[in-house]
Amino acid sequence: MSQPALNQDSLNQDLRRLVYYSRNRVGGPAAMNETIRGILAASRTNNARVGVTGALMFNAGCFAQVLEGPGEAVETTFERIQQDERHGEVSLLAFEAVETRLFTEWSMAFVGASQADAALYGDMAGESGFDLSRMTGNNLCAVLHGLALEEEAAAA
């Protein structure tokens, strides 16, 4: 999945990175579990087709997401998120042209401090190839991680 996206990037001058976070409006752990796994599955198929990769971090308080890909595909993907009522108060942190991707495929990780939630979703990072070291390498992503933890604390 990652190879075609990477190969096209060298030809594609219009590579963009969009970063946002939003309040999580999904209620209850069961609904949360279903939603999160649904988003991961849908993201992998839909986004891969249009060359969008990225990372979704989530916890009980928020979704925080990095989208990377061709400008138009990122815009379309983001617009779909904006039309989704499960996301509330979306804060767009950045939408910028970049040279290379931070995430070459779809990754997803639980980034909460809650032990119980970590037990529920902890497997997801490994399953999706999420690599936190790549997050810390980018200032914006590190900020995003911090915001996610803050939202979780506010929601608790």
Partner 1 sequence: MPAFMSALAAPSLPVSLPFEAALAEMAAPLLLLDAGGTVLFTNARAAALLSCAEPVGLSLPVLLAQSGAAEPEGEPVLEAVRATRPARARLTLDGDRRVEAALAPLSAGGFALTFEDVTEQLRGAALARQEPLTGLCNRVGLHDRLHAALAEADRTGAPLAVLMLDLDRFKAVNDTLGHPVGDALLRKVAERLRKATRSGDVVARLGGDEFAILQAGAEQPQASEALARRLVDLVGRTYVVDGHMLNVGVSVGVAVAPVDGRGADDLLKHADLALYRAKAEGRGTYRFFEPAMNAQMQARRSLEIDLRRALALKQFDLAFQPQIQLETGAVTGFEALLRWNHPERGPVSPALFIPLAEEIGIIVGIGEWALRAACREAASWPQPASIAVNLSPVQFRGGKLVETVMNVLAQTGLDPARLELEITEGALLENTDSVLDVLNGLRALGVKISMDDFGTGYSSLSYLQKFPFDKIKIDQSFVRGMEGNAECGAIVRAIARLGASLGMRTTAEGVETPSQLDAIRAEGCTEVQGYLTGRPMPAAQAAALLSSSPVASPADAA
Hunting for tokens 């219009």 — which residue is that?
Answer: 14
Of 134, 23, 124, 147, which is closest to residue 68 (Cα–Cα)?
Answer: 134
Amino acid at the residue 39: I
DSSP codes joined into one string, 8-72: HHTT-S-EEEEEEEEEE---SHHHHHHHHHHHHHHHHHHHHHTT-EEEEEE-SSEEEEEEEEEHH
CB closer to partner 1, 85 vs 99: 85
CB closer to partner 1, 48 vs 90: 90
Binding mask 80-119 for partner 1 (x = CB under 8 A): --xx-x--x-x-x--x------------------------
CB closer to partner 1, 75 vs 131: 75
Instruction: Write down the least CB distance from residue 72 to partner 1, Å.
Output: 9
What residues make contact with partner 1 under the rule CB under 8 A? 16, 18, 71, 74-75, 78-79, 82-83, 85, 88, 90, 92, 95
